Amino acid sequence: MSDSKITQIERDTLATMSSTSRLYWAGLAGSVILVAIGGWAWSLALRQGLGVLGLNEPVMWGALITTFVFFIGVSHSGTLVSAILYFTRSPLRAAIGRSAEAMTVITILTAGLYPIIHIGRSWLFFFVLAYPNQRQLWPNFRSPLTWDVFAISSYVTVSGLFLYMGMLPDLALLSRRITGWRRPLYRVLSLGFSGTDAEWTLFEKAYPIFAAVVVPLAVSVHSVVSWDFAMSVMPGWHSAIFAPYFVAGAIFSGIAMAILLLSGLRRGYRLEGHIKPAHFDLMAKLLLAMSLVMTFVYLTEFFMAFFRGNAAEIEVFRWRATGSYAWVFWLVMFCNGVAPLACFWRRVRRSLPALIVISVLVSVGMWFERFLFIVTTLAHSYNPANWGHYIPTWPELLICLGGFGWFLMLFLIFVKVFPSMSVAETMQHEHALSLPATGDEAEVTHA
Amino acid sequence: MPDDLVAVFSDPDAAAAALRQLGAASIHGVRVISPAPYPAVHLTGQPGPWRYLGSIALVGGLTGLAAATALQVVTSRSLNIIVGGKPIVAWPAFGVVMFELTMLFAGIFNFSALVLLSAVARRKVPAAARRLADSERIVVLVPAARLRGGAEATVRAALKHAVEVRS
């Protein structure tokens, strides 16, 4: 592999850090504005109370918890996909692994805001943590909400470390390459990694162990979030299928978000040489497969409800499809079940504009899917006298919108400060491609 | 480093070829510093204390399991309130946090082990040689003090494609 090729790889993989386009500034400015608007709406809730949020009997969980579940779902697939790509030795990983891992950490940080906002007196959020206190009050470990705190805290810590561990070789490289205020930052963050053979051996042995820890943790975190609902006795929630249903939905929405982020990076930083149509093709196939799984789950839910014969359960599912939220139901069916079917066609899978449209539809569909099952169960539960209707208020919607701005802002800052693609892995991958197809050298062992 | 031959390669394949030649000539103790895990880094016999990594992660997982068990049992007994008809010490319910903390601690221990063992391992390579490596430069260190007879000529021949050789 020639010097010029290595220089080219380095230039490409560090493109997001070295150049700043107008599109980048526009995206950053737009996201900061959304964050400011969302922050102002939150301050309204803090100053005037939760009454401004439209949450009331019987719908106590609304748009905020919907957004929480949505972002947890998106977070789910980044690290999971990256770890699976690592184990399968997929060439996709060098191109999309880093962005997917960053997406996980950022979305989980975003998701974590919503329960804190939802509790109203947000400054008392630490009451859910297990810490020694003078009144001997401890969290109830038999509650799924406490499990949630532990699952999400563990997941964000492990995902963050997974992202950081993968970046160590790149940070070491950057500490030599970059000048200015960032140089000491990278030197400290690289933890002294210098690329000796012993360090690479340790790295290559430690990384799969960490990936093996990450995969079950990623599956568990969304299962635990599903148990927030499924461990109750509410119709439409109390179902054994909820954990795999949530995990599948999480992977589905995460892939859609990854397609959107990667297409933005590819277009904005001219990374066509690294993020190729074949990569999008593979992601589109995965999106299609998960869409079919989701359709199967939706049908199974209905089948189970009607076969079981529980009147309350039947009524909730009938109401979902025909009641006042029917438009949400059919929107979800179209976005999650019908639109992705276009990926059966190779031309669609290879067309970035088409994939962007499908991914946007899937993201919208998955947000509304969470909204649908949360709100309809609460609004139409066992007691007809207590049935109600919930419409999010505008401060609620602005807080949700602020979350999307927060997510985008953190991601844009991340790609400016850290490489959005793994430099070491890309160099290794390109080197392996430059070798003859046979021989020991051709074997790709991932960093 | 005063006792080492330091060869700087710009081509990962040339570095790998040199290491193969050195291996064939039974020159031992050769070290490599590389910006990416090219084949060259796999040709020095996997040096470093990596065998401890799995055990350390296991110890971490067991620590997390013990911590989660102690936290839940002790604090639930301390609060001593029955909620939702569940027993004070409800093992099925506690299983979730036990699993989460097992994985969390296994991950943290694994990462910490990587950082600490890497720090130990890199001390065996002179800092001056480590500083020479860059994205376009792979450094091969040959322990010159161990070379006897015609071995030095063999080493020089193996390193002929290096862009720079220092002694």
How confident is the model over B98-108, as pLDDT tens digits?
Answer: 999 999 999 99
Q: How far apart are the first and last CA of chain B?
A: 8
Tell me the C-alpha distance between B33 and B43, whole Å. Answer: 12
Q: Are A101 and A86 in contact (CB under 8 A)?
A: no
pLDDT at site A446 = 44
In angstroms, how far is CA B104 from the centroid of its own chain? 20
CB contact under 8 A, A154 and B114: no
Residues 6+ apart with CB under 8 A from A165: A206, A207, A210, B111, B114
- The nearest alpha carbon in chain B to A170 belongs to B35
| Residue B42 confidence (pLDDT) | 85
Strand partners, A350: none
Domains and CATH numbers, chain B: 4-48+126-166 (3.30.70), 50-120 (no CATH)
pLDDT computed for residue A402 by the predictor: 96
Q: What is the pLDDT of residue A135?
A: 78
Residue ranges in chain A whose pLDDT is less than 50: 439-447
Cα(A190)–Cα(A273) distance, integer angstroms: 27
How many domains in chain A? 1
Closest partner CB to B107 (pick from A142, A146, A161): A161
Please report whether residue A440 resides in a domain. Answer: no
What is the percent of chain B with per-residue pLDDT over 90, rounded to a whole number? 37
DSSP strand pairing (B138-143 vs B164-166): unpaired
Range list of H helices, B25-166? 53-79, 91-122, 127-132, 151-158
**A130, amino acid identity:** A
- Residue A64's pLDDT is 95
- CA–CA gap between residue A444 and residue A425 (Å, rounded): 10
Query: Distance, in angstroms, between A199 CA and closest chain B CA?
Result: 5
Minimal C-alpha gap between A148 and chain B (Å): 9
Instruction: Name residues whose C-beta falls within 8 Å of residue A74's C-beta, 6 or more positions apart in sequence.
Output: A103, A107, A250, A253, A254, A257
What are the Cα distances from residue A289, in Å, to A252, A255, A300, A368?
A: 9, 11, 17, 20
pLDDT of residue B136: 78
Residue B1's pLDDT is: 52
Across residues B59-69, what is the average pLDDT?
97
DSSP A3-70: HHHHHHHHHHHTHHHH---HHHHHHHHHHHHHHHHHHHHHHHHHHH-GGGGT-BTTB-S-HHHHHHHH
B83 with A142: Cβ contact below 8 A: yes
**A315-324 long-range contacts, CB within 8 A, separation 24+:** A315/A235, A315/A380, A316/A235, A316/A236, A316/A376, A316/A377, A316/A380, A316/A381, A317/A236, A319/A376, A319/A380, A320/A236, A320/A372, A320/A373, A320/A376, A323/A376, A323/A380, A324/A389
Provide the pLDDT for residue B132. 82
Q: How far is B74 from chain A (nearest CA, A)?
A: 10
The enclosing H or E element of A318 equals helix A311-322
- B135: which chain A residues are within 8 Å (Cβ-Cβ)? 6-7, 10, 173, 177, 423, 427
CB contact under 8 A, A440 and B107: no
List B141's β-bridge partners, or say none: B6, B31
In tens, the pLDDT along A281-307 reads 989 999 999 999 999 999 999 999 999
Can you give the CATH number for the domain in which A89 is found? 1.20.1630.10
pLDDT digits (tens, 9 = 90+) for A120-165: 899 998 888 888 888 778 899 999 999 999 999 999 999 999 999 9
The HSE-up count of residue B79 (CA atoms within 13 Å, CB side) is: 22
- Residues with Cβ within 8 Å of A124's Cβ and at least 6 positions away in sequence, in order, are none
Give the number of other CB atoms < 10 A from CB of residue B124.
Answer: 12
3-state secondary structure A193-242: CCCEHHHHHHHHHHHHHHHHHHHHHHHHHHHHHHHHHHCCCCCCCCCCCH
Judged by a CB distance cut-off of 8 A, whether residue A224 touches chain B is yes
Task: Examine the pLDDT at B2 and tell me if it is beyond 70.
Answer: no
Could you tell me if residue A6 is inside a domain?
no
CB of A146 within 8 Å of a chain B CB? The answer is yes
Here the tokens at position A122 are 């947000």
Using the Cβ of A213 and the Cβ atoms of chain B, whether some distance falls under 8 Å is answered with yes
* Shortest Cα–Cα distance, B124 to chain A (Å): 9
Q: Is B33 helix (H, G, I), strand (E, B) or coil?
A: strand
Q: Distance, in angstroms, between A132 CA and closest chain B CA?
A: 9
| Probe site for chain B from A4, A140, A141 (most B CB atoms < 10 A) | A141
Cβ contact (<8 Å) for B57 and A213?
A: yes
Interface test with A, best of B34, B80, B132, B141 (most A CBs within 10 A): B34
Q: A287 lies in which domain range?
A: 11-129+137-435
Count of C-beta atoms within a 10 Å radius of residue A306: 13
In chain A the first and final C-alpha atoms are separated, in Å, by 18
At B145, is the pLDDT very low, low, confident or very high (cuts 50, 70, 90)?
low
Residue A191 forms contact with B (CB below 8 Å): yes
**What are residue B166's DSSP bridge partners?**
B6
Is residue A227 assigned to a domain?
yes
